[in-house]
Structure 1
Amino acid sequence: MDPLASIKITFFQECEEQLAELETGLLTMKDGETDPETVNAVFRAVHSIKGGAGAFSLTELVRFAHVFETVLDEMRAGRLAPDGRILDVMLRAADVLADLVRAARDGGTVDEDRCQALIAELGALTGVQEAAVDDGFLDLDFAPITVSVDVGEEPEPAAAAGLEMAEGAPAAEKLVVAFRPRAALYAKANEPAVLLRELASLGRAEITLDASSLPQLDELEPEAAYLHWVATVETDDEAAIREVFDFVEGDCELSIARVPDDCEPVAARQPPVDEAETAGELDIKALIARATGGATQTAAAAQAAPAAQVISLRDHPARAPDMSARKEDGHAVAAASPTIRVDLERVDRLIDLVGELVINQAMLAQRVLESGLARSSGIAVGLDDLELLTREIQDSVMAIRAQPVKSVFQRMPRLVREVAHATGKQVRLVVEGEGTEVDKTVIERLTDPITHMIRNAIDHGLEPPERRIEVGKPAEGVVRLSALHRSGRIVIEVADDGGGINRTRVRQIAVDKGLISPDANLSDEETDNLIFMPGFSTAETISDISGRGVGMDVVRRSIQALGGRISIASRPGQGSTFTLSLPLTLAVLDGMVVSVGGQTFVLPITTVMETLQPKPTEVRRLEGSVPLLLVRDRYVPILDVGHRLGYRAGPIEPTEGVVLLVEGEDGRSAALLVESILGQRQVVIKSLEANYQRVPGIAAATILGDGRVALILDVDAVISGPTSEPALAETRLLAAG
């Protein structure tokens, strides 16, 4: 088994994050925001990928990343202007970099011609040839680094710091850099030698290695960090030094102090260890080999004498900067909050256990209620406290799975570029609300539906540039992708400013394909929804993008499987908007428990606006239609849930039951008539599709406090129309247990 397998997994996970950051930064720059922080963020992303790839000898990935990084470095230095043409090349380079990362992870291959062509394009931007690669590390052609080794012997005061006072010495700007890596730096496949070489490139540098912390060999932890370095660099550019360590800032201790003008660096005077070290220079790889081979001797020496003082500026003490926060451009930069990576299966198991805890707490409360104990008794009060604590635990655990939809939205710019290129259209993607959080299970299943809708919006919705100009529109079409929270659900919209749905053509295609009869009388909304039917397509020819009639049908089925729904709003000549409405989580919901036909049902409380007992004067009847309820000067249809689900042969009088005024996702209101309201409680959602099959009118099931199964109503399905007879039979069967 590969001993680095677990580290590789972490590396590739971080690569995905860096690639997302890279693409976001490049798109931000393409929109005109080319501030130094954005450019630095893009550079750090590529630099981090290159550094980790070098540690695993991923030669092709390192080679391409280095050429890419060189262009970004020129841009950072202001020698290369980030104009539109250059950014187009860099966006394509980001795609190739992503392909190389995935090929390295999955063992695939990447088109070599494509890589070489982009390497040539990137090289042409700077005139720099691709770097040579040796054993996975780039030959950066830096000046040699002088390294002195401190193995525990007490040095002379000035020698320990590599500094000595010298009267009359010429003034020189120097900075002392103390660099102490943490274990996390190595765990992320970063290499201190690369950082030290970059530090040496800023000016003449003398670097001292302190190995006094090395323990005895039998006490050495392979994943720990024992070495640290002190460097004296002849430069006055502190910002450049910080940039060297920028992408490992949270994984090391770094302090920078200015050396007074009357100090000058001298060679550190260390007792010779062997002939190779008497010259004061030591190859880092040789040092590591010596340290691992002679750790016992080193540790013994460290115990015999106190550790050397790393920095000593006699008569001129310098205070190390506070590493918890530092100033950049006048703003305080807080230290990154610590995070851990947890296997998703463990989180799922934790959520399942919390769900069982909620069910058992409800059962216990039910048993106490049935026993007739007073609400003021000690047991009842303790149960109330337990309920509050259970709710808080459940909310905290669900927050662990909550993630912003940014992870899905960030994949779409690349898709837009590819589809726009394939169709010959000019498209601009506008993203809003990417910080909106939703359960990870929902996020994982959003990618395919959103992908299909965006492809459909570009291919079918947007007109060709020449057609847009003819009708007075800009040649560049706009596709808008947005997300927001609404009534306890997440709403995602994909809108375009194209020509809208051609309803006449849609209807004719549906008739030609036999999907509807020629004399069918359809509203505009029903006509628009024909595009979701299996086998329907408005494409005249089959292409790589569309034409097979499976895209929008897949979208609807995928959304329905998540307990959501999709709607369309189209305006001819102005564009179309597809709206997805999904539950925030597939695990729990707050519900209103009601009695219907002797059975218990649960309604999502986010759909209930109010409850009331109808009065005879508030009920109106029209021949051949459902009764209407007058609510604040407007009439709302009364829908008898028991009758619709087949639990009664006919409806009951509205005045004999309780009405729940609900609102569907499309904005339609209805008054659902039930026999009684049993209470409000939080319930754990159990999927019907996973355990049985999909039933129209029923969203899911749950387990009540008395151990019985209750069905969760799909409010929108109940509002939309009468349920079919087979569905009624299934509903009765499920409710009966």
Structure 2
Amino acid sequence: MDMNEIREIFFQECEEQLAELETGLLKLNDGDRDPETVNAVFRAVHSIKGGAGAFALDDLVAFAHVFETTLDCVRSGKLEPSQDVLKVMLKSADVLADLTNAARDGGTVDESRSRALVKELEALANGEQPAAHAAPEPVAAKPAVAAAPAPTDSSGFQPIPFSFDDFGGEEEEVLMVAPTYSVTFKPRAELFSKGNEAALLLRDLSRIGEMSIHCHTGDVPTLDRMDPEGSYLSWTISIKTEKGEEGIRSVFEFAEWDCELDIKLAEEAEADDERPMIPVPFDLSLLEDEPVIGDEPHVEMHVEPVVAAAVAAAETATGVMQAAAAASARAEKKEAPAASAAAQANAANAANAAGQTIRVDLDRVDRLINLVGELVINQAMLSQSVIENDNNGTSSINMGLEELQQLTREIQDSVMAIRAQPVKPVFQRMARTVREIADITGKSVRLITEGENTEVDKTVIDKLAEPLTHMIRNAVDHGLEMPEKRIAAGKNPEGTVRLTAKHRSGRIVIELTDDGAGINREKVRQKAIDNDLITADANLSDEEIDNLIFHAGFSTADKVSDLSGRGVGMDVVKRSIQALGGRISIQSKPGQGSTFSMSLPLTLAVLDGMVVTVAGQTLVVPLTAIVETLQPEAAAIHSFGATQRLISIRNSFCPLVDVGRILNFRAQQANPVEGVALLVESEGGGQRALMVDAIQGQRQVVIKSLEANYMHVPGIAAATILGDGRVALILDVDAVVGASRGQSLRQEMSLAS
């Protein structure tokens, strides 16, 4: 693995850390004060800083260092995470993401914005950390240990200059009359795999007394024999504390089972080991003022990201004091730090052992899914051929085909599960969009997300970002009122935007709700008249007026701004959703807000369908939309109005829809008694009974895009290839139900084209 591949792994891990950072800050913003949440936020920034240092990403390291310092003030209780503080930190998280993207893609970041945030972060840290809380003078007066060689004990071990400053440690005064204990601490690999860190444990131990430490590196193997997930270091600690053995053990309370821990009074331990102990230099300004990376001396105990851990392990293996001498020479020559060759090699080994997951190129998964689709088609063709030539259906070939069908289905399910991803990454990106639009418009907005772990095909997720961004912008800019107007209306000055995802009837439903003023239907209607979309005497329902906003070029903005007024937005949303085989609907109440609901397929590859015949044409109806099938009886059919008909189903009436008539396959309505009714349920349209001529059977079909190969056809979602080689059209149930309620399929086609 070359350096470019290791670098790519680092940036992939940065995406995970940035997501963790965003999640933690939003939890804090919602009032969560769990210390573990604060620690998770701190670790995310610290890990990004550590990994960035290995690649000499100075801008990223410098900003992360300031950000980390302020977060450490929150973690230590010196800074209260108020709404104003968290607002700065959320903006800082955005800049950290921008710096990461710029480092990866070669872009630029607004320097004025990053500098302003650095000043704000420093002000927050300094305001809560007055000079009186500085480190004690005796420690501060110690010379920098990196510039001078340390003594070597009789065993050949070299004491490691160590600081807990990077982990938020602070020293506390202890009485000199307290007893001294000798502690031997050797962590096992299980300690790190469970999220514990030796450095944090040692930091906590330093808080209960005056401590000296000796690190044993004799068990560190050569790089070619090193296990990236192994544990090779151990420590002997001398600590003077009034807390006693019980206080020392309390520090290791949650890690004692995953380490070797021995605690003795100093007098008892002298006979076992008489090597001199070196006091811990808590100041180490080398690490605090100028981040030291590459071959320079530092002790990174984090196991995340893998690159940072690899660099730390490599430095330990090559000898800390030799690295210190190299660091001193480099400081004099002002050379730029760089990752060592040993670090690169060890990072490669760590990348190969990154747990029970693998990273696979998406193109390979796409190709596998396409092959599975072809397998489904060929299996259907083979089954059709056997059925046509074997009437008794009992041959061994037929039995083998049934097993092949079951095996094909299991393969298809497993392959589709590979592409199933939670919508959380897309939802998290929307949080930044809300913050930015709120700042531009001067509004106070809170985003609430639900169902972030709802899984859907990766292809669908990738194409959700653009329409969701447009909808978020529209909700904040047009939907929510200014704070003073909300107060006058008796509302909370802070507007709420709620983004939810859930599975329903084999589809994913994403809803965006705001508690704003709702759609101003009078204004929408007048704009539509001015734009010649409707006539002045047109009689439209509220729903039809709401749907006018989906027309291309339609906008209710009074003037063009950076956010709106050009008529580009909601028409793009509808086109994007339709391209995914989905539909979008609106529900709005004046003064209470609006809800935009998107219904999307879980996958764009394969679906289970009912193959039916309509006016000599073969169609496929998605099985997830069908509630039941029934054979209509003459007594159950009732006329309604001039052309409408109802069917009685268990003492209730349901509209009967002739699919052939809706799709213009025939000029006159067919006789319901001669056909079959499919009771379906659609988003926003309730139940309808779709009348077809006959049912051929149930099939698993491979979805083929009709738009990509031909053009958009109203009422048709996609196409497929049947077992006999014929092309069949997949019915868009929602569009057909909408047409039965008076919506024009032709109008929908012109909007989507």
**TM-score normalized by structure 1?**
0.78
Structure 1 position 693 matched with structure 2 position 706: no
Q: 233, 238, 242: which is aligned to 2:237?
A: 233
Q: Deviations over 1:123-166 (max 9, x none)?
A: 2222389xxxxxxxxxx99856998999xxxx98x99999xxxx
Q: CA deviation at 1:349?
A: 1.2
Does the 8 Å CA contact 2:706/2:712 hold for their aligned counterparts?
Answer: yes
Aligned to 2:79: 80
- Report the CA distance shift for 1:358/1:260 in structure 2 as closer, same or farther (over 3 A): farther
Q: Deviations over 1:518-564 (max 9, x none)?
A: 11110110011111111111111111111111111111111111111
Aligned to 1:137: none
In structure 1, the residue corresponding to 2:587 is in which secondary structure? Answer: strand
Aligned to 1:718: 736
Q: CA deviation at 1:728?
A: 14
Give the paired residue count. 636
Superposition pairs of residues 573-722 of structure 1, within 5 angstroms: 573-622=591-640, 624-721=642-739
Aligned to 1:306: none
Aligned to 1:11: 10
User: In structure 1, what is the Cα distance between the partners aligned to 2:603 and 2:149?
Assistant: 58
User: In structure 2, what is the Cα distance between the partners aligned to 1:286 and 1:226?
Assistant: 27
- Percent of aligned pairs with the same residue? 57
Does the 8 Å CA contact 1:193/1:284 hold for their aligned counterparts?
Answer: no
Superposition pairs of residues 440-589 of structure 1, within 5 angstroms: 440-589=458-607
In structure 2, the residue corresponding to 1:566 is in which secondary structure? Answer: strand
Q: CA deviation at 1:640?
A: 2.2
Q: Deviations over 1:240-295 (max 9, x none)?
A: 7899xx9xxxxxx97352333322554499xxxxxxxxxx9833477999x999xx
In structure 2, the residue corresponding to 1:520 is in which secondary structure? Answer: coil
Q: 390, 395, 418: which is aligned to 1:372?
A: 390
Q: 268, 279, 282: which is aligned to 2:321?
A: 282
- Report the CA distance shift for 1:680/1:226 in structure 2 as closer, same or farther (over 3 A): closer
Q: CA deviation at 1:662?
A: 1.4
AA partner of residue 382 (structure 2): L
User: In structure 2, what is the Cα distance between the partners aligned to 1:3 and 1:195?
Assistant: 32
Q: CA deviation at 1:223?
A: 9.8
AA partner of residue 584 (structure 1): L
In structure 1, the residue corresponding to 2:368 is in which secondary structure? Answer: helix
- Report the CA distance shift for 1:201/1:119 in structure 2 as closer, same or farther (over 3 A): farther
Aligned to 1:171: 180
Q: CA deviation at 1:46?
A: 0.2
| RMSD (Å) for aligned C-alpha atoms | 3.9
Q: CA deviation at 1:489?
A: 0.7
Does the 8 Å CA contact 2:159/2:215 hold for their aligned counterparts?
Answer: no
Superposition pairs of residues 21-32 of structure 1, within 5 angstroms: 21-32=20-31
Aligned to 2:135: none
Aligned to 1:58: 57
Q: CA deviation at 1:105?
A: 1.0
Does the 8 Å CA contact 2:191/2:258 hold for their aligned counterparts?
Answer: no
- Report the CA distance shift for 1:598/1:34 in structure 2 as closer, same or farther (over 3 A): same
Superposition pairs of residues 194-233 of structure 1, within 5 angstroms: 203-210=211-218, 213-214=221-222, 220=224, 228-233=232-237
Does the 8 Å CA contact 2:11/2:100 hold for their aligned counterparts?
Answer: yes
Is 596-605 or 31-40 further displaced after alignment?
596-605
Q: 390, 399, 403: which is aligned to 2:421?
A: 403
Q: Deviations over 1:296-354 (max 9, x none)?
A: xxxxxxxxxxxxxxxxxxxxxxxxxxxxxxxxxxxxxxxx9722211111111111111
- Report the CA distance shift for 1:170/1:700 in structure 2 as closer, same or farther (over 3 A): same
Q: 252, 264, 280: which is aligned to 1:260?
A: 264
User: In structure 2, what is the Cα distance between the partners aligned to 1:106 and 1:600?
Assistant: 49
Superposition pairs of residues 96-245 of structure 1, within 5 angstroms: 96-127=95-126, 171-178=180-187, 203-210=211-218, 213-214=221-222, 220=224, 228-234=232-238
Q: CA deviation at 1:614?
A: 0.9
AA partner of residue 11 (structure 2): F
Aligned to 2:332: none
Q: CA deviation at 1:371?
A: 1.9
User: In structure 2, what is the Cα distance between the partners aligned to 1:222 and 1:541?
Assistant: 65
AA partner of residue 269 (structure 2): C
Q: CA deviation at 1:627?
A: 2.6
- Point out where structure 2 has 5 or more consecutive residues left out of the alignment: 131-141, 161-177, 240-246, 278-318, 328-337, 343-353
In structure 2, the residue corresponding to 1:621 is in which secondary structure? Answer: strand
Q: 339, 350, 357: which is aligned to 2:368?
A: 350
Does the 8 Å CA contact 1:142/1:200 hold for their aligned counterparts?
Answer: no
AA partner of residue 214 (structure 1): T
In structure 2, the residue corresponding to 1:705 is in which secondary structure? Answer: coil
Q: CA deviation at 1:443?
A: 0.7
Q: Deviations over 1:77-120 (max 9, x none)?
A: 22222222221221121111111111111112222222222222
User: In structure 2, what is the Cα distance between the partners aligned to 1:284 and 1:193?
Assistant: 21
Does the 8 Å CA contact 1:142/1:201 hold for their aligned counterparts?
Answer: no
User: In structure 2, what is the Cα distance between the partners aligned to 1:682 and 1:398?
Assistant: 14
Does the 8 Å CA contact 2:715/2:745 hold for their aligned counterparts?
Answer: no
Aligned to 1:133: none
Q: CA deviation at 1:210?
A: 2.8
- Report the CA distance shift for 1:370/1:38 in structure 2 as closer, same or farther (over 3 A): same
AA partner of residue 653 (structure 1): N
Does the 8 Å CA contact 1:142/1:197 hold for their aligned counterparts?
Answer: no
User: In structure 2, what is the Cα distance between the partners aligned to 1:199 and 1:515?
Assistant: 70
User: In structure 2, what is the Cα distance between the partners aligned to 1:402 and 1:370?
Assistant: 37
Is 564-573 or 203-212 further displaced after alignment?
203-212
Does the 8 Å CA contact 2:152/2:158 hold for their aligned counterparts?
Answer: no
User: In structure 2, what is the Cα distance between the partners aligned to 1:111 and 1:584?
Assistant: 39
Q: Deviations over 1:422-460 (max 9, x none)?
A: 111111111111111111111111111111111111111
Does the 8 Å CA contact 2:685/2:737 hold for their aligned counterparts?
Answer: no
Aligned to 2:345: none
Is 140-149 or 256-265 further displaced after alignment?
140-149
Q: CA deviation at 1:727?
A: 11
Q: Deviations over 1:699-727 (max 9, x none)?
A: 00111112221110111222222798999
User: In structure 2, what is the Cα distance between the partners aligned to 1:95 and 1:160?
Assistant: 42
**TM-score normalized by structure 2?**
0.77
Superposition pairs of residues 283-322 of structure 1, within 5 angstroms: 283-284=322-323
User: In structure 2, what is the Cα distance between the partners aligned to 1:102 and 1:571?
Assistant: 41
User: In structure 1, what is the Cα distance between the partners aligned to 2:367 and 2:152?
Assistant: 50
Q: CA deviation at 1:673?
A: 1.5
Aligned to 1:35: 34
Does the 8 Å CA contact 2:201/2:251 hold for their aligned counterparts?
Answer: no
Aligned to 2:402: 384
Q: CA deviation at 1:626?
A: 2.9
- Point out where structure 1 has 5 or more consecutive residues left out of the alignment: 130-139, 163-168, 185-191, 247-252, 270-279, 294-335, 730-737
User: In structure 2, what is the Cα distance between the partners aligned to 1:426 and 1:492?
Assistant: 23
AA partner of residue 631 (structure 2): Q
Aligned to 1:733: none
- Report the CA distance shift for 1:180/1:208 in structure 2 as closer, same or farther (over 3 A): farther
